[in-house]
Amino acid sequence: MGYGRKITGGKYKKFSKKKKYALPGIPRKVKLRETKSKILRGLGGNKKTVLLCADYANVFDPKTKKSKKSKIKNVLETPSNRFLARQNILVKSAIIETELGKAKITNRPGQEGAINAILLKE
């Protein structure tokens, strides 16, 4: 039988066309460079700020219970994909080296427009 047909020879019909809200978004890889962001229009006219590049993170210190803006020096390791760390790409759960020490990114920078991290125990 032909490709994409039923065992009886009949054609499979698509149940509906692709809707705009069901289409996947563009994957944005946040690089370690001078901060650069972009504002996108979402559904209902909502605005979303996305990061393209970043060099600062909001680092939370669990001991003092305070947050401080700190410069990112390097991406040390990325548990989800080791190749991302080599390219200095910032993603959730990546371990970064900051001026305050090692920190783990706790949010999704490509979706939120800022980098939040928590300081790790040395």
Whichever domain contains 67, its CATH number is 3.10.290.70
Q: Is residue 55 part of a domain?
A: yes
Q: Tell me, what's the pLDDT at 25?
A: 79
Angle CA 78–38–83, to nearest 5: 20
Q: Is residue 10 part of a domain?
A: no
Q: Is residue 92 part of a domain?
A: yes
Both tokens assigned to 45: 């006219």
Q: Tell me, what's the pLDDT at 90?
A: 96
Domain range for residue 83?
28-119
Q: Tell me, what's the pLDDT at 70?
A: 96
List, for residues 29-63, the tens digit of each pLDDT value: 999 999 999 999 988 899 999 999 999 999 999 99
Low-confidence stretches of the chain (pLDDT < 50) are none
Q: Tell me, what's the pLDDT at 35?
A: 94
| Cβ count within 10 A of residue 7 | 6
Domains of the chain: total: 1
- The answer to whether 74 touches 96, Cβ cutoff 8 Å, is yes
Q: Tell me, what's the pLDDT at 47?
A: 94
